[in-house]
Amino acid sequence: MAQDMSYHAMLAALDFQVELGADYCISEEPLDRYAQAEAEAERRREAAAAAAPASSISMPKAAPPPVQVVQVDPISDARRAADAAGTLEELHEAIAAYDHCELKKGARSLVFSDGRPEARVMIIGEAPGRDEDMQGKPFVGRAGQLLDRMFGAIGLSRTAPEPDGAFYITNILPWRPPQNRDPKPEEIAMMKPFVERHVALAKPDLLVLMGNISCQAMLGRRGITRLRGTWAETLGLPALPMFHPAYLLRNPSAKREAWADMLELSARLRSLG
């Protein structure tokens, strides 16, 4: 029908359709406008690639090298830090900077030592309790008060002005374990280098190992009821295992054996001169 119409007739018909509101022309064949849009985009990409200089064509980047995970040995780190300390003050700083022990995160204080470092007797306890954690000193609670009375009975005090009448105290662990639980073997292992360096710097004549944990760390043995009262050797020094004062508070009947151990300690000091 459109072929029989003149140009002006077709133009008039088109104007009539526009006035009626028509805004699209529909052909006899369907038109895929999505395919048209994709084809147009592809032509733009090809034109841009052809116009770009060869040097600007990006080459695929090489894969980054695999990340090397460095395995840290807490015990070796502790050994290096401890050996580098030339004084007790430097050892205190080295322990404070040591971050491998998780106990540090939950403790209030670093409990380093108390008493006279020049003393002939060095006591190695187990770990700080609640009172020690609050005050930052070892053996200051009820067990510490009993310890002071025990050593006072043989003429030794942590506050004595002269080294011959004094004693010096530290612990295997400088931080309080949660709920006063026993130290774990890995905690003992990583802190032992600091204890060994502590003894080397303090240079006592003999050691007193208070309780099972101290004996486990320094002698590699447990069973304080069998070990107590019998001299052993560790770090080249005579060492006397003894009941921990906290044990004596729970078992007053064991104070008889503890007094015998105190007399043995006094006799050993006299024999050493």
pLDDT of 60 reads 64
E strands in 112-266: 114-115, 121-125, 167-171, 206-210, 232-234, 237-242
Q: What integer pLDDT is reported at residue 12 of this predicted model?
A: 73
Tell me the C-alpha to C-alpha distance, in Å, between residue 61 and each of 53, 96, 179. Answer: 19, 45, 55
* pLDDT, position 46: 79
- Kindly give, in sequence order, each residue whose CB lies less than 8 Å from that of residue 261, ignoring residues fewer than 6 positions away: 228, 229, 240, 242, 243
Query: Contact 93/179 with Cβ under 8 angstroms?
Result: no
Domain ranges of the chain: 74-272
Can you give the three-state secondary structure of 25-83, one letter per residue?
Answer: CCCCCCCCHHHHHHHHHHHHHHHHHHHCCHHHCCCCCCCCCCCCCCCCCHHHHHHHHHH
* pLDDT number for residue 33: 67
pLDDT at 61: 67
pLDDT given for residue 142 in this prediction = 95
Cα separation, 244 vs 77, whole angstroms: 30
Backbone phi and psi for residue 221, each to the nearest 5 degrees, phi listed first: -135, 150
Q: How confident is the prediction along the chain (273 residues), in pLDDT tens digits per residue?
A: 555 667 777 767 767 666 666 666 666 666 676 677 777 778 887 777 776 565 555 556 667 777 666 678 999 999 999 999 999 999 999 999 999 999 999 999 999 999 999 999 999 999 999 999 999 999 999 999 999 999 999 999 999 999 999 999 999 999 999 999 999 999 999 999 999 999 999 999 999 999 999 999 999 999 999 999 999 999 999 999 999 999 999 999 999 999 999 999 999 999 998
pLDDT of residue 45: 79
The rounded Cα 2 to chain-centroid distance in angstroms is: 90
- Look at residue 70 in the predicted model and tell me its pLDDT: 61
Q: What CATH number was assigned to the domain covering residues 74-272?
A: 3.40.470.10
- Which of helix, strand or coil describes residue 178? helix
Q: What is the pTM of this model?
A: 0.74
Which pLDDT value is given to residue 30? 67
